[in-house]
Copies of this chain bind each other. A is one copy, B any other.
């Protein structure tokens, strides 16, 4: 690194390029009061906008950036520098700048134009340095909200962000429930894991123990805590990648160092060279005090360590939610996104959730690999805003639920669901049943499916859908959360009948359970005569060996089970599907399909 005074370096960080589109606005609230009670004499916000604000000011989308990001979320034109989320933001992209007015502001405490530790304190006329107060994610949101006031945007169509940007999105919903219609929170959490905090602590120790840190007042020195900041960044980088991603990248060339670069850091291993490069480049564009400030804000962010606290904090939220996690993200593990979903569900908020299977780790939300999924989900969320009806569309059978679902029993199911009842559909596919129920005026309907594309389809239709495996139980839902839970032709395939039925009857006051009757006359005859197992469940030429193991049971078997488990049977609709008839006489002999209405409580048939 060149021996120019560090102060210049700091300047160059803030004004590295004359950004033609960078707008700067000093907020009216002076001094600017922080949640800690401390104040900043004034706050300037650097931001960029994309697209046109609609006449009614109702198409604004706020994008929030992560710890090392800035306001330059996308290129403004083909000659512009790349933005950090060009993949998602732009004309025709998921966040379509032809439709939406996109705003992205550098966060409070940052070092790219918005007031932060390297800004000049108007009182002392020197950089704040260590005098910059501890700030919180809530303070960042407050500055953004003040910016929107000045832009005369009362309500955001959406707030979208990943990682620390996701923290901001969550804080928006918690603090400004009335100002947000949709929230998309990617790769984020209600608060960092203890492991995540631990990495941040080590990173901050590396910066603060760097002799050039000089207690944060390094701006006049020749060097700042460049080594400490580089080490912090190296460490951060490890946590942004997944172990499998690192293996793919470095396992086959363990010692292939970049020969073309000088470095003060160890470069024996290829992964070390990579980290050295990342660390050294970061020092050129980021201020160590900002890193400390933002990393501490992230560690202090805490919407609750349990779901009760979290749901209380989000209780006023009226928006539609999209929560996306990434399977190999170990810094913000999927279980944390699932906590957010559970808290929202318990508030009866409209929430869709998908866990994107990827080797890309925490960084996945910034990368192209999984764009077809997370991009479509975000696009679906924003697009659903314009839906006037929940068009009942053809079921495209996108579901990959264990059993190849048959939806011939829709009509019968719908007849069994009283008007206005809340409904959970297990294995919702592309939302066929839920859409029909919405059309009929059922406000509170939720789907579950294993298939990501089912979640995309439902999100497009404005139907909340949660990606989940039935065999993991219905952990997203509290007791008695729905009037009706529908389990259509899936009980044959679940691993544990007792557990799944218990879960059904825990979350639903009643359950509709349909299954093929193994004791149907033709099946009995087929086994007796041919000596082979009849192909009763799978009409599309699936044989016993092609499917997952399917348990066979009859109407009588099921009735015996219910009696043993004290499950009340309210109704049995027995059908001969081939003939299209409802069966009243000896259903166990004459029906090929049964639909039971059951509950834990109530009157036994």
Contacts and interface: CB of A to CB of B under 8 A. Distances in A.
B238 A271 contact: no
Interface in A361-416: none
Interface stretch (A122-130, A142-150, A227-235, A477-485): A227-235
A12 interface: no
Nearest to A242: B195
A71 interface: no
A195 B531 contact: no
Contact of A238 (B198, B208, B305): B198
A235 to B, nearest CB: 6
Contacts of A422: none
Contact of A193 (B198, B246, B524): B246
A2 interface: no
Contact of A556 (B193, B241, B525, B531): B531
A351 B558 CA distance: 46
B557 A532 contact: yes
Given A208-B266, A209-B231, A544 B533 contact: no
A247 B519 contact: no
Interface of chain A, main secondary structure = helix
Contact of A271 (B197, B518, B532): B197
Q: Kindly name the residue among A238, A241, A275, A330 whose own CB sees the greatest number of chain B CB atoms within 10 A.
A: A238
Contacts of A208: 266
A491 to B, nearest CB: 9
- Bin chain A's interface residue count: 35 or more
Given A195-B238, A546-B498, A201 B551 contact: no
Given A272-B197, A519-B531, A205 B265 contact: yes
B531 A589 contact: yes
Interface stretch (A88-96, A248-256, A426-434): A248-256
A28 interface: no
A53 interface: no
Scoring A194, A276, A305 by chain B CB atoms within 10 A of each residue's CB, the highest score goes to A194
A214 interface: no
Given A198-B246, A201-B275, A493 B549 contact: yes
A31 interface: no
Contacts of A561: 543, 545
A194 B250 contact: yes
Nearest to A270: B194
Contacts of A193: 243, 246-247, 251
A77 interface: no
Contact of A235 (B235, B264, B265): B235
Contacts of A265: 201, 205, 209
Contact of A243 (B204, B330, B546, B553): B330
Contacts of A525: 528
A250 B545 CA distance: 48
Contacts of A518: 527, 533
Contacts of A556: 530-532
Contacts of A547: 551
Contacts of A209: 227, 231, 264-265
A496 interface: yes
B202 A231 contact: yes
A568 interface: no
B546 A549 contact: no
A450 to B, nearest CB: 14
Contacts of A293: none
B275 A202 contact: yes
A159 B273 CA distance: 36
A269 interface: yes
Given A531-B556, A549-B548, A549-B551, A198 B266 contact: no
A357 interface: no
Contacts of A249: 194
B545 A498 contact: yes
Interface string A529-573: 011110000000001111111111111110011000000000000
A193, A493, A494, A523 interface centre (most CB from chain B within 10 Å): A193
Contacts of A551: 544-545, 547, 549-551
Given A209-B264, A231-B209, A201 B552 contact: no
B531 A554 contact: yes
A551 to B, nearest CB: 4
A553 B533 contact: yes
A473 to B, nearest CB: 16
Given A197-B250, A204-B266, A544-B551, 12 more contacts: A194-B246, A194-B271, A195-B246, A201-B272, A205-B266, A205-B276, A519-B532, A530-B556, A531-B556, A543-B561, A547-B551, A549-B550
19 contacts: A193-B247, A194-B246, A194-B254, A194-B271, A195-B243, A198-B246, A201-B266, A201-B268, A205-B234, A205-B266, A251-B305, A254-B302, A254-B305, A524-B528, A531-B555, A531-B588, A545-B557, A548-B549, A550-B551
Interface of A: 193-195, 197-199, 201-202, 204-206, 208-209, 211, 227, 231, 234-235, 238, 241, 243, 246-247, 249-252, 254, 264-266, 268-269, 271-272, 275-276, 299, 302, 305, 330, 333, 492-498, 518-519, 523-525, 527-528, 530-533, 543-557, 560-561, 588-589
Ranked nearest first, the 3 interchain pairs of A and B with the lowest CB-CB distance are A201-B272, A519-B531, A194-B250
